[in-house]
Amino acid sequence: MTTTTTETAEPAQGEMPSPMLTMHDIHHAYGKTVALHDLSFEMLPGEIRGLIGENGSGKSTLVKLLSGVMPASSGTIAVDGRRVVFRSPRAAQRAGIVTVFQETLISAESSVRDNVFLGQDGIARRGASRSAERERALEYFEKFGLETSVLDGSVVHLSLAQRQVLTIIRALTRQWRLLILDESTSALDLQTRDALFDVLREQTRSGRSVLFVSHRMDELQSFVDRATVLRSGAMVGTLEQAAATPDALLRLMSQRASKESLENLDELSHKPDAGASVPGGEEAAGERRVESVRIRADVSLRENSRRFLIEVRAGEVLGVAGLEGHGGAAFLETLVGLRPPASGEVVCVKPDLSTKPVRSYGRAVKDGTVYVPGNRQVEGLFAPLSVVDNMLMATMGEDTTLGCFRMRRLLARTQSLVERLDVEVADIRAPVDRLSGGNQQKVLVGRWLAAQPRVLVMNDPLRGVDIGTKRQFYQLLRRLADSDVAVVLLSTEIEELVQVCDRVAVFRDQSVQALLDRHQMGYDEILEAMFGQNVVAGAAQGGAS
Amino acid sequence: MTQNLTTAASVSDATTDRDNDAGKNSGWRRWWQPTLAVYTAPVILFVVVGIKLPSIFSKSGLLSVLVLAAVLGIACIGQTLAILIGGIDLSIPATIGLANVLVATLTLNHWSFPSICLVLFGLSIVIGVVNGVLSSLFNLHPLVVTLGTGSIITGGILEHTHGNTGGVVPHFIVDAVSPVGRSFGLPIPASVLIWLVLAVLVLLIERRTTIGRRIFALGANPTAAPLSLVNPVVTRIVVYTVGAISACISGVLLAGFSGGASADIGQPYLFSTITAVVVGGTALIGGRGGYGRTIAGAFITIEVQTLLIGLKVGVSMQQVFLGLIILALVATYGRERSVAQRI
């Protein structure tokens, strides 16, 4: 399973140095979801290793295991050949493993200096004398182009990039032997990033190692000695610097894992060829036809990100792809009025071609745009409440006389949704948290189908849902699109997008990297765009066709 | 389960009872036991108290317990709703004091009772809006907000009356809380009847109205609620306004006991409203429980107090016992929660 295409590190061959870090047979699962399996991984002293893989490939899990955030379900980790078990981040740090995470963990109440040395002081004693500390920190400040005067200031005034530099300096001033950079260079400008690479190259000469997790091909190619590719929780290969071209890395990433589980989906004949492009035309099976609207977003998501134009059309399923944090989710929130765009506007185009700006979530819903949020436990479910409550929370007001519910109608409406979505539930008045994850997800979608949407926006609704339920969903989405609902589906699974979507918008760096048509959107094309490899012509203009 | 559609069942939450048609659905057995415990405990406790104090079995003994439970139970309406949305209302004692003092002093100044009610109603809305808006907009914990408003109310009364809070209490209020009081020709004090009407109303609102379900939704998941069109600010304002109104009713009734007024007459109700709600089994994290349980909790609280007084336990030791009960129950209910949130 682990096909390591390595031709051994170049300095070695004869006297191979013993690895400073060994992970053997690592297996880790979150409940039923397997995040890593049969993973064996070694790092040599002085090595700079790259780690790459798409969302959910197991990178973050690997980093968390190494930095002591959680212990592995099974398998062993050894440092210098001695087995270690990290029960806390502190334990990992004592072994010399220091991690800089993607989220910039800053204590906003403290000064810059205190942030740099956060966690190194004892409760009563200071870690080192003040002046020695200052000197060490200032040295890095200078190298990374930070004004030395900020050291005594407050963190509040620092930019995102400066905060990221700060967390890196925090790590560098510790006693590290293995430094893990978990996508922690994403906000840095080129100059700072190169300065950081220089510092790290120099420091690894003394035998320290760096594990560098990144989504940027160019960074990987210019900085690392070797690059390891993860896919679906397993290592699929390690390439030498010279061999680690974007093409080669992408090839490894896109090797389909186990295809048989998805094969039975192929019979799902999506994309009836006429359907999508002729809104308001022929008859639809099963779902009630809705008044068709279009949503046009001409926005930039962040202050200095590229502006783009996307039109969500009635009768189509528009896929949204992209690595986490690259703007896909932000785009959905902007579409439904939950997040104002940095510039530009989202408008709803009515059938009579009159337009209406989408300014708030409440108004978006009134105009028929609904949003099924991504994290169903946090943003979706009312766990202790009944299936009826959960399904009808947004539309209960429809079934009242003099303010009181008409119970029969309320229950009948729930029952019809339960049947339409095929929710497996014994008692619709029992708490929703007794249902399985897939059925809970159906309830959430039911909540918004109850509102008879014209535009249905969904944030990764099928994460962690079984294959049978997925299939039902795909058919439902198809039926909805055929009845002129505009469907927007964000998914972290590329196969899913290829299966059900008419078009796919791939996000990268808070903007649309590529807008792929049906005949362009293969698995590889989407993956390449996610990693910034190809820009399909016309992406910036979007669906204004 | 489709045949259940025709039964007049409520859209019930996880922890409320469904005893009317419960036999038909499978969830019944699982919920029967803990729910039954809450509702049988007051009865069992009543017998226990009766063994120690046989006089409680007399008509006047029974009615005294009912009247005390009514005053507490009415004050608990607001506390239950506040806790259901995941908050708490510490301004209830001060609002009780406000109503208590105003009804006495304004009556002394020859205000009619309806106009006094109107004033109290207006003030309740002000208190509710302030509590609701402050705990929403500035991201302040309702604990702090309601503690603050409570303190302002109490200070305001003392400033306005210069500490002279005495007055006259209309005789019908005295009758309303007297065990020998009658209403509509029945030998039931008016306070008990008022509680009965209010309780039915609150239970109906909880289960059969949009705002009722929204209160539960907001408490169950404050992040998801706004995404499902539950307006948190409006919901909080409603909850704290209802809370202030119910506290005012309790405050007016309390005036009947003393025949006079005092700004800090509500102080014991800070602790006892929370006790009654928690003893009933409404979870402090919100979204679970309901007023039905609080009714049982109010009876239990009053009976324990009666028992302790009967055993000649001092006021301070009563506090100690009630505190122990709360701690024990919160610890027990805490376990249920972890099961509910296992995912």
Q: What is the DSSP string of B130-180?
A: HHHHHHHHT---HHHHHHHHHHHHHHHHHHHHTT-------HHHHHHTSTT
> What is the arithmetic mean of pLDDT over B281-294?
89
What is the pLDDT confidence band of residue A73, given thresholds at 50, 70 and 90? confident
Quick one: tokens of A21?
Answer: 């870090």
Cβ within 8 Å, pair B213-A397: no
Residue B17 has pLDDT above 60, yes or no: no
CB nearest to A382's CB, from B209, B220, B226: B220
Q: Which residue has the higher pLDDT, A504 or A142?
A: A504
> What is the arithmetic mean of pLDDT over A486-504?
90
The rounded distance, in Å, linking the Cα atoms of B52 and B308 is 10
Residue A299 has pLDDT above 50, yes or no: yes
Q: To the nearest whole percent, how much of chain B has pLDDT over 70? A: 86
Using DSSP, state whether B227 is helix, strand or coil.
helix
pLDDT tens digits for range A36-52: 888 888 999 999 999 98
pLDDT at site A3: 43
pLDDT at site A270: 42
**Of A6-20, A287-301, A405-419, B191-205, where does the model show the most confidence?**
B191-205
Residue B300 has pLDDT above 70, yes or no: yes
Among the ranges given (A375-389, B223-237, B309-323), the one the predictor scored with the smallest mean pLDDT: B309-323
Q: Does B220 touch chain A (CB under 8 A)?
A: yes
**Cβ pair A144, A196 in contact under 8 A:** yes
**Of A22-36, A60-74, B292-306, where does the model show the most confidence?**
B292-306
pLDDT at site B211: 94
pLDDT tens digits for range A449-486: 999 899 999 998 887 677 777 888 898 999 999 988 99
Q: Does B266 touch chain A (CB under 8 A)?
A: no
The β-bridge partners of A431 are A386
Q: To the nearest whole percent, how much of chain A has pLDDT over 70? A: 83
> What is the arithmetic mean of pLDDT over A132-160?
78
Q: Which residue has the higher pLDDT, A199 or A271?
A: A199
Q: Which residue has the higher pLDDT, A1 or A308?
A: A308
Count of CB atoms within 10 A of residue A221's CB? 17
Write out the residues of chain A at the interface with chain B, using a CB-CB cutoff of 8 A.
361-362, 365, 371, 373, 377-386, 388-389, 393-394, 396-397, 400, 403-405, 407-408, 410-412, 415, 426-431, 433, 437, 447
pLDDT tens digits for range A252-264: 887 654 443 344 4
Bridge-based pairing of strands A234-240 and A226-231 is antiparallel
**H or E element at residue B201:** helix B190-208
Residue A319 has pLDDT above 90, yes or no: yes
pLDDT at site B33: 52
**Of A13-17, B121-125, B336-340, where does the model show the most confidence?**
B121-125
Count of CB atoms within 10 A of residue A466's CB? 12
The rounded distance, in Å, linking the Cα atoms of A76 and A477 is 44
DSSP string, B252-315: HHHHHHHSS--TTTTTHHHHHHHHHHHHHT--TTSSS--HHHHHHHHHHHHHHHHHHHHTT--H
**Of A14-18, A115-119, A425-429, B22-26, where does the model show the most confidence?**
A425-429
B223 contacts in chain A (CB < 8 Å): 378-379
Q: Residue type for B318, please?
A: Q
> What is the arithmetic mean of pLDDT over A297-311?
90
**Cβ pair A423, A446 in contact under 8 A:** yes
Residue B9 has pLDDT above 60, yes or no: no
pLDDT at site A108: 64
Residue A492 has pLDDT above 80, yes or no: yes
Cβ within 8 Å, pair A384-B14: yes
The C-alpha of A2 sits at a distance from chain B's nearest C-alpha, in angstroms, of: 32
Residue B137 has pLDDT above 70, yes or no: yes
The rounded distance, in Å, linking the Cα atoms of B52 and A273 is 84
Cβ within 8 Å, pair A361-B227: yes
Among the ranges given (A133-137, A374-378, B237-241), the one the predictor scored with the smallest mean pLDDT: A133-137
A447 contacts in chain B (CB < 8 Å): 228
Question: Which residues, numbered 31 to 90 in chain B, qualify as contacts with chain A under a Cβ-Cβ cut-off of 8 Å?
Answer: none
Chain-centre distance for alpha carbon A139: 35
What is the pLDDT confidence band of residue B100, given thresholds at 50, 70 and 90? very high
Q: b vs e for A56-79, b when ≥16 Cβ sit within 10 Å of the residue's Cβ? A: bbbbbbbbbbbbbbeebeebebeb
Cβ within 8 Å, pair A429-B9: yes
pLDDT at site A11: 45
Bridge-based pairing of strands A404-405 and A455-459 is unpaired
> What is the arithmetic mean of pLDDT over A420-428?
86
Cβ within 8 Å, pair B25-A415: no
What is the pLDDT confidence band of residue A130, given thresholds at 50, 70 and 90? low
Q: Exposed, middle or buried by CB within 10 Å (0-12, 13-18, 19+), for A376?
A: buried
The C-alpha of A301 sits at a distance from chain B's nearest C-alpha, in angstroms, of: 21
What is the pLDDT confidence band of residue A126, given thresholds at 50, 70 and 90? low
pLDDT tens digits for range B157-166: 988 888 777 7
pLDDT at site A277: 36
The terminus-to-terminus CA distance of chain B in angstroms comes to 26
Q: What is the ipTM of this complex?
A: 0.81
Cβ within 8 Å, pair A389-B224: no
The rounded distance, in Å, linking the Cα atoms of A384 and B219 is 10
pLDDT at site A535: 56
The C-alpha of A408 sits at a distance from chain B's nearest C-alpha, in angstroms, of: 6
Cβ within 8 Å, pair B227-A362: no
Question: Which residue reads 């307006």 in tokens?
Answer: B231
Mean of the per-residue pLDDT values for chain B?
Answer: 83
What is the pLDDT confidence band of residue B213, given thresholds at 50, 70 and 90? very high
Question: Which residue reads 């967390």 in tokens?
Answer: A167
The C-alpha of A394 sits at a distance from chain B's nearest C-alpha, in angstroms, of: 5
User: Which of the residues A360, A361, A396, A458 would you substitute to probe the B interface, choosing the one with the greatest number of B C-beta atoms within 10 Å?
Assistant: A396
Q: Exposed, middle or buried by CB within 10 Å (0-12, 13-18, 19+), for A436?
A: middle
Q: Give me the phi and psi of A50, to 5 degrees please.
A: -95, 150
> What is the arithmetic mean of pLDDT over B214-237?
94
A379 contacts in chain B (CB < 8 Å): 223-224, 227
Quick one: tokens of B194?
Answer: 């008022």
What is the pLDDT confidence band of residue A435, given thresholds at 50, 70 and 90? confident
- pTM of the complete model: 0.74
pLDDT at site B139: 75
* Minimum CA–CA partner of B27 in chain A: A430
pLDDT at site A12: 42
Question: Which residues, numbered 96 to 155 in chain B, qualify as contacts with chain A under a Cβ-Cβ cut-off of 8 Å?
Answer: none
pLDDT at site A538: 46
Among the ranges given (A113-127, A430-444, B124-138), the one the predictor scored with the smallest mean pLDDT: A113-127
Q: Does B331 touch chain A (CB under 8 A)?
A: no
* Minimum CA–CA partner of A402 in chain B: B209
Q: Residue type for B276, please?
A: A
Cβ within 8 Å, pair A384-B15: yes
The C-alpha of B123 sits at a distance from chain A's nearest C-alpha, in angstroms, of: 25
Count of CB atoms within 10 A of residue A500's CB? 24
* Minimum CA–CA partner of B212 in chain A: A404
The C-alpha of B120 sits at a distance from chain A's nearest C-alpha, in angstroms, of: 25
pLDDT at site B341: 37
